Structure 1
Amino acid sequence: MVGRSARDCRKKGTNSGVSRVQMCSDLDAAPDRDELDFEFLGNRTGQPYTIQTNVYKSGIGGREMRHTLWFDPTQDFHTYSILWNTHRIVFFVDRVAIRVYRNNGKPNNFFPSGKPMYMFSSIWNADDWATRGGLEKTDWKKAPFVSSYKDFHADGCQWKDPFPACVSTTTQHWWDQYEAWSLTDGQQEDFSWVGRNLVIYDYCKDTERYPKLPAECFL
């Protein structure tokens, strides 16, 4: 699916469990899958929650960004959405763009585009790494662990074999018209604020992990 998907989510407070909302190209998460995801990484009691986004192509990820949230996601439902067209992928939280993954200028060879996606959500234990690098462990006394969802909406290119025309740029749909290829002035202002105040990890700045930064970091 190319287009936009959104759902409202509220998670129960946990310290190290990961709640995931994802678009994945394979029902069994096969090794060669494409994937776009939001992951709630838990928190230390009283501290802001961290949300991680990632991009996979052909089973390879390593494109993580992490942000602190400006609200407590356990208190109310908030909207998490992904806009995906041939020019870019934008991760939104409550209409605020927190991440833009580009495919303009020079082509991005790490841009998922050739596989249909399914929607998934899950909860799993990641206390070996998710919260403070694994220092915070899951408190199993707080089970059951719950993430609640409502108001799911998808507006996109429905996959039809062998390859639907709407996957390519046709400008016939709102999510693939010029206005959807870049942020509005207001969105750009919010996005810049997020970048200054809420980003706590960006793989494009991790030169220890990537001595040679991935090519898409320069788009």
Structure 2
Amino acid sequence: MARRSLLLPLLASLALMAAAVASADSWLYEKFNTDGTVRTDYDASGQQVAMLNLDRSSGAGFNSKEKYLYGEFSIQMKLIAGDSAGTVSCFYLSSGDGDDHDEIDMEFMGNSSGQPVVLNTNVWASGDGKKEHQFDLWFDPAADYHTYTIIWNPTNIIFKVDGNVIRCFKRYDGLAYPSSRPMALHATLWDGSYWATQKGKVPIDWSGAPFVVSYRGYSADACVSGGACPAGSDRWMNKQPDSAEWGTIKWAESNYMRYDYCQDGWRFPQGLPAECSRS
């Protein structure tokens, strides 16, 4: 009886500690609205994990309750294991669905087993998109979590994978750039069979459903629309790639780039977009 009386307070204490850890990292429902089948759990370190499910009936996603104007946004993702052809997993910012919308995309285009997953990076400004750089991922994105980051400031948009800068979209005078429309942060998993894999030639094999993508470790160090910027925002507000980071961009382009819109003369018969001659 004495042992039991000592054990109960210990169990209660452990439960409170576990609840405190979970509460400290319960980012999903505090910061986002959800759509479709979204499940949550906690990993061994106490980090909340959001799992998006895709099946024949629907995809899934979450979108931020706040809108932002500039910031640094980061998340860890573990993608679909095995045959993920036809699926698209996303981490992106968007001002909405209007014809003049702004958007900054990191889209992971699934592939057949054994083939690399393609990361599509893109920027839309005032409804003008078609600015894709696509890269074969140089690791298995389903084997473990990897960190994906977007830095958006008044002079450039920087895309990072596991801390490595792989692309910088620069702002040029007289050319459209996302600078005035606040954007919400989104994560989605959807059926992109018409587009994602080999330009739509390989659809989803639904026998593998439900497909699951896991997200954890979300962070946003950003200026909230209509509010002040956080202390220390100069870390990313004035960020431009340094010489070492330009080196990783060249490394990614030389070894893993599979598409560069500035090399696609067939797509732009009237001439390549103006920024292509300025970069």
Corresponding residue SS for 1:30: coil
2:94 aligned to which of 14, 19, 24: 24
- For 1:53, the equivalent position in structure 2 comes to 121
Residue 97 of structure 2 is aligned to residue 42 of structure 1: no
Matches for 1:70-219 after TM superposition, within 5 Å: 70-103=138-171, 106-107=172-173, 109-160=175-226, 173-177=234-238, 180-181=239-240, 183-211=241-269, 212-219=271-278
Task: Provide the C-alpha distance between the structure 1 equivalents of 2:154 and 2:100, rounded to a whole number of angstroms.
Answer: 20
Task: Provide the C-alpha distance between the structure 2 equivalents of 1:112 and 1:19, rounded to a whole number of angstroms.
Answer: 23
Task: Provide the C-alpha distance between the structure 1 equivalents of 2:184 and 2:112, rounded to a whole number of angstroms.
Answer: 32
Count of residues in correspondence between the two structures = 205
Q: Deviations over 1:131-176 (max 9, x none)?
A: 1121211001111111111111111222117xx6x6xxxx962212
Q: Which amino acid aligns with 1:147?
A: V
Q: Answer yes or no: is the 8 Å Cα contact 2:92–2:106 preserved in 1.
A: yes
- CA RMSD in angstroms comes to 1.7
* Structure 2: gaps spanning 5 or more residues: 1-68
Corresponding residue SS for 1:2: strand
Task: Provide the C-alpha distance between the structure 1 equivalents of 2:233 and 2:256, rounded to a whole number of angstroms.
Answer: 35
Identity %: 37
Q: Which amino acid aligns with 2:147?
A: T
- For 1:8, the equivalent position in structure 2 comes to 76
Q: Based on CA coordinates, which of the two structures has the bigger radius of gyration?
A: 2
Shift of 1:60: 2.8
Corresponding residue SS for 1:18: strand
Q: Which amino acid aligns with 2:80?
A: K
Q: Name whichever structure is richer in helix by fraction.
A: 2
Shift of 1:184: 2.3
Shift of 1:108: 5.2
- TM-score by length of structure 2 reads 0.69
Structure 2 vs 1, CA of residues 9 and 190 (structure 1 numbering), >3 Å: closer, same or farther?
same
Q: Answer yes or no: is the 8 Å Cα contact 1:102–1:108 preserved in 2.
A: no
* Structure 1: gaps spanning 5 or more residues: none
- TM-score by length of structure 1 reads 0.88
- Higher RCO by CA contacts (8 Å cutoff, separation 6 or greater): 1
